[in-house]
Amino acid sequence: MAELNYYEPYEGALHLPRPLRDLVQENRDGMIEAMKNIMLKSPDIYERKNAAFCLGQIGAERAIPYLDQALGQERVEGVREAAGAALGTLRSVSSDKGFSDAERARVMYALYKNRPIHIPTYPGETPVVQVSDTKESTPTTPAKAEPKKSKCFIATAACGNPFAPEVLIRAGCRLRAA
């Protein structure tokens, strides 16, 4: 069975000469530098977004300052969300800690989509599926209104604490904008 290519979703927007997985295997540090430059300097929104995802998928903790910088300077929400998901991924399941491409892809996708996830505490840990109360509504029983969340999920994942000052500041900005 062929190994999955977790870099494939990012290749189209980055206009690379060869498959990204091959380029990362040949020169990981060079690709981190290239993705950093694309993420921080490209005028193309999709290139910046996909470069952020790529940095998260490569999994090197040395990309954390670049993602922090992108979060500070980026104005496009989708790019900021991708950088936040990559940042949370690197802080929790980096390759430097021994986590696999599959584990990083699963965590990064959940963080980006703002879905509940069990972050593994050690490489190879079996994921725990979180089941929520899925009581369906019928014409006679209206759907239960979702309570408004007051914390920023991506910032919480990136900082590791829902009460960190960075999380509270971002949550306050988001609540004022709503």
Condensed to tens digits (0 to 9), the pLDDT of residues 99-156 reads 888 888 889 988 888 888 888 888 888 655 443 433 433 333 344 444 444 445 565 5
Q: Kindly state the helix (H) or strand (E) to which residue 118 belongs, with its residue range.
A: none
CA separation, residue 131 to residues 9, 51, 105, 126 (Å):
28, 32, 21, 16
141 forms bridges with which residues in the sheet?
A: 138
- Per-residue pLDDT band for 17 (boundaries 50, 70, 90) equals confident
Delimit the domains of the chain by residue range.
8-129, 150-178
Task: Tell me 71's DSSP state.
Answer: H
Average pLDDT, the chain: 77
| DSSP code per residue over 122-171 | STTPPPPPP----PPPBTTBPPPPPPPP-S-HHHHHHHS-TTSHHHHHHH
138 forms bridges with which residues in the sheet?
A: 141
pLDDT of residue 147: 43
- 71-76 LR contacts (CB < 8 Å, sep 24+): 73/40, 74/48, 76/45, 76/48, 76/49
pLDDT reading at 97 higher than 60: yes
pLDDT of residue 51: 92
Q: What is the mean pLDDT of residues 2-6?
A: 69
pLDDT of residue 155: 56
Cβ atoms 88, 158 nearer than 8 A: yes
Condensed to tens digits (0 to 9), the pLDDT of residues 20-72 reads 888 889 999 999 999 999 999 999 999 999 999 999 999 999 999 999 999 99
